[in-house]
Structure 1
Amino acid sequence: MLIAAAIFAVVAAAVAFYFFMLESLRWAEPDTAEVFALRGSNPAATAQLAYNLGFYNLFLAVGAALGVVLLFAGNAVAGLTLMTFTTACMLLASVVLVLSDRRVARLSLVQGAPAALSLVLSLLGT
């Protein structure tokens, strides 16, 4: 179970990294506005907030990836703890996202599903 949990944690980290790219590096691009259902908005007005939020996603991605590395590098307790914490944060962020705007339910599912699977498998595997 822990191997499957680790695989989903890596997928969740990749998704979080993708959100970092969108929010911190590509916020002003028209296709990014479509991803976040922000058609007709002024990206410059929210660029600073998005930039900051993107780095939260980056830090969660790094945490999940580091947790996987530690899990299989001989420090299972630290690795599992870090992996579980970061995937729980990703899942909760996806819940907050969908509760704030139902139009981004699909986006929330993309963000939360791999994290949820990793979290459940981690808890079942311990």
Structure 2
Amino acid sequence: MNTDLLLDGVPTVAAVFATVAALIHVYIFVLESILWTTPRARATFGIRSEQEAAATRALAFNQGWYNLFLAIGTGMGLVLAGSATDVVRAAGVGVLLLATASMVCAALVLVISNPRMARGAAVQGLAPLIAVAVTVAHGLA
């Protein structure tokens, strides 16, 4: 096993950034699905009033679960990428890339649809972008 790899198919730096991305998406899940109507969540997402938060609560709840599923997919990809079996390890890298690339795409959609959310898109998309880039570069090397 190569010493610069945490998992056989995923470089250490990619695994670290993928883990950070997953944790960020778990945090987003908590804000959207559990804490949506709190002042902290409203400030984070630019929700101006309790009434607006209440009106958008069901939408945010659903979106939060989407973020949690991306985090779970990332975690499952990391676990599978550590398998001793080549086929399972390759599947894990694929799952990891799918989940993290989806995070990147969601960040792009966010910033394209609402440029004022560029900071949030960067928080949501930078770590998974690094994970994808490093994993793909490793696979091409």
TM-score, length basis structure 2: 0.85
Code of the residue aligned with 1:76 in structure 2: it is: R
What does residue 32 of structure 1 align with? 41
Residue 109 in structure 1 maps to residue 122 in structure 2: yes
Q: Give, in angstroms, the shift of residue 38 of structure 1.
A: 2.1
User: Following the alignment from structure 1 to structure 2, what is the Cα–Cα distance between the partners of residues 63 and 100?
Assistant: 25
Q: Which has the larger radius of gyration?
A: 2
Query: Which residue does the alignment assign to 1:118?
Result: 131
Aligned match of 1:20: 29
For the residues of structure 1 that align with 2:79 and 2:136, how far apart are their CA atoms? 18
Task: Name which structure has the greater RCO, CA cutoff 8 Å, separation 6+.
Answer: 1
Shift of residue 102, structure 1, vs aligned partner: 1.6
Counterpart residue number, 2:107 = 94
> Which runs of 5 or more structure 1 residues have no equivalent in the other structure?
none
CA contact under 8 A between 1:69 and 1:79: conserved in structure 2? yes
How many Å apart are 1:6 and its aligned residue? Answer: 1.2
Residue 61 (str. 1) matches residue 71 (str. 2): yes
**Higher helix fraction: Structure 1 or Structure 2?**
1
Q: How many residues align?
A: 126
| Structure 1 position 3, deviation (Å) | 1.7
8 Å contact kept, 1:37–1:103 = no
> Which aligned runs of 4 or more in structure 1 are off by greater than 3 angstroms?
none
CA RMSD of aligned residues (A): 1.2
Q: Equivalent pairs: percent with the same residue?
A: 39
